[in-house]
Structure 1
Amino acid sequence: MPVLLGLLGSEEHQRHHEQPIARWAEDLERAGFTPGEPRRLYDYWRAPAYLLTAS
């Protein structure tokens, strides 16, 4: 459902944001954090869930 609802809003008011785990790690690095290794938690039908920690 979140994927569908994210498509209904405009880009300006985006309700849902998805991107590959590598992009999340890059975003954290650009923000000044040091990301750890992503840990795969669960394989959902749409995409796997990960845990990504940073310090």
Structure 2
Amino acid sequence: MTLHHGSDVFTDSFVLLRVDGVWRIANKTHHRTTCRPVLALVGRCNGQQA
């Protein structure tokens, strides 16, 4: 899951397990990247296309 918020980009990754028919989060990792304001304004932060 990725969220773009201003000049920050937050990415969460989940490892899911299905136990007895119910999905559970077994592990979660996250990463935050901050762009330079000029790149964020033109939509070119972290590989975004304008």
| TM-score between the two structures when normalised by the length of structure 1 | 0.27
Query: RCO greater where, 1 or 2, for CA within 8 Å and sep 6 or more?
Result: 2
What TM-score comes out, normalization by structure 2 length?
A: 0.28
Structure number with higher helix proportion:
1
